[in-house]
Amino acid sequence: MTSTINRPYFTDWLSSWRDKDIIKVVTGIRRCGKTTLLKLFRNKLLSEGVDPRQIVSINFEDPDVGVFHTFADAWAFVRSKMDDSLGRIYIFLDEVQQVPEFERLVDGLFVKSNTDVYVTGSNAKFLSGELATFLTGRYVEIAMQPLSFVEYLSAFPGLPKSEAFANYMRFGGFPFVTRLAGNDEARRDYLSAIFDTIIYKDVLARLSLRDGAVLKRLVRFIFDNVGNPLSVNRIAGTLKADGTAIASRTIDTYINALCETFLVYHATRYDIKGRSYLKTLGKYYIADQGLRAVVTGERGGDIGHVFENIIFLELKRRYRDVYVGTVDGREVDFVAFENAAPRYFQVALSVRDEATLKRELAPFKAIRDQYPKTLITLDNDPPLDHDGIRQINAMDFLLLHRPRR
């Protein structure tokens, strides 16, 4: 097992924007690796000859840094670390949302002629929509997730990929989880702590709520129904039947907050023939399958939801837009767009049964265009072709492609 996992896609992205007159913003769920990414990129700068004195790195969640109650205090602290006589100054602000009026701090540093600014954030005060309001046109953003299977596998050189994939399905891809290999209890405790931090420090704070009991029931329901079509009214009805009365409008507010803190993703339905987006019965997926396991428990017969969630997250890494497809009343698991061109994906545990294979191929055959169609399964078979429809093993699929650039 390796202690530091290289994530070249993200470091390459930062490199591509280096010294360009724009703020580099890295967002993502807590503990997905943003802080380590900045460290990896700083090391890259040093290896390329940047003087250490040209690098100012501040993690605002580090107790040694202290707490800033005003923008002016934070500004004075950061400026005290900068030696303008050195020329270009690379500034790294980690979890900058802890600073009052952090947008002013970021923008003030950006307008300096000798700065190159990189920032990260994960909680409710650092949502891209709010950042965009203040810094319109002055930043680029990349969304980080927990480890992909490729990255996860790199942490365990020599481990058979089938064994690594089984662990990945159970405990997910948060980087620190790889360092707890072999200690199931420690992994569950760590994931539970991440979940509680997001719920209490991010979501409840954003919603100005004190009691998280109702929110946790909602989250458990969403986690339990990964990959199932859901509407706000259906969620409200189910919770009410279970003794938790909550208004549909309130549920909608809660779900938006969960999505904004990167814990939950909403996949909108897309009418393939009509080329239109549908407002109802979308699906929800989770930022990491390990979090689902600690919230809902590990249950036999539930592997299909976990598997579908993993494929959804991988598609989100590769494509900007991922939807749930529908064609002639049939469902296509995912429609992903690459340069406005669709790609279609079906996900199934196994299609060795002829009836199952026929059922999974039927939605593809109802699509009249010639864009790529892929069936992803856990069957340990070589790639197959069904009249132009590609069938591939999930591990081969996860290892074959690189994320989009």
Q: What is the pLDDT of residues 337-365, one digit of tens each?
A: 988 899 999 999 999 999 999 999 999 99
Which residues share a beta bridge with 327? 330
CB-based contact 54:89 (threshold 8 Å): yes
Average pLDDT, the chain: 92
Which residue is associated with the tokens 């203040």?
A: 134
pTM for this prediction: 0.93
Residue 189 pLDDT > 70, yes or no? yes
With CA atoms as reference, report the closest residue to 138 among 109, 159, 179: 109
pLDDT band at 199 (very low <50, low <70, confident <90, very high): very high
pLDDT band at 1 (very low <50, low <70, confident <90, very high): low
- Burial (Cβ within 10 Å: 0-12, 13-18, ≥19) of residue 230: buried
* Confidence at residue 355, expressed as pLDDT on a 0 to 100 scale: 98
Cα–Cα distance for residue pair 270/335, rounded to 1 Å = 8
Residue 232 pLDDT > 80, yes or no? yes
Neighbours of 300 (CB within 10 A): 5
Q: Which of 166-170, 174-178, 275-279, 299-303 has the lowest mean pLDDT?
A: 299-303
User: What is the mean predicted confidence (pLDDT) over 4-23?
Assistant: 94
* Confidence at residue 202, expressed as pLDDT on a 0 to 100 scale: 85
Buried b (16+ CB within 10 A) or exposed e, 99-127: bebbbebbbbbbeeeebbbbbbbbbbbbb
* Confidence at residue 125, expressed as pLDDT on a 0 to 100 scale: 57
Domains of the chain: 8-144 (3.40.50.300), 149-400 (1.10.10.10)
Phi, psi of 114 (to 5 degrees): -110, 15
Adjacency order of strands within the sheet including 330-338: 276-286, 264-271, 321-327, 330-338, 341-348, 373-377, 389-393, 384-386
Residue 145 pLDDT > 60, yes or no? yes
**Of 198 and 211, which is predicted with more confidence?**
198
Residue 31 pLDDT > 60, yes or no? yes
With CA atoms as reference, report the closest residue to 239 among 221, 224, 256, 225: 221
pLDDT tens per residue across span 100-129 = 888 899 999 999 999 999 999 876 556 556
Tokens of 393: 């093993």
Q: Contacts from 184-188 at CB under 8 Å and sequence distance 24+?
A: 187/290, 188/293, 188/294
Cα–Cα distance for residue pair 346/11, rounded to 1 Å = 31
* Confidence at residue 128, expressed as pLDDT on a 0 to 100 scale: 56
**Residues sharing a CB contact under 8 Å with residue 257, sequence separation 6 or more, in sequence order:** 124, 203, 206, 207
Q: Give CA separation, 232 vs 130, 208, 222, 254, 261, in Å.
A: 25, 21, 11, 11, 19
Which residue is associated with the tokens 């990959």?
A: 227
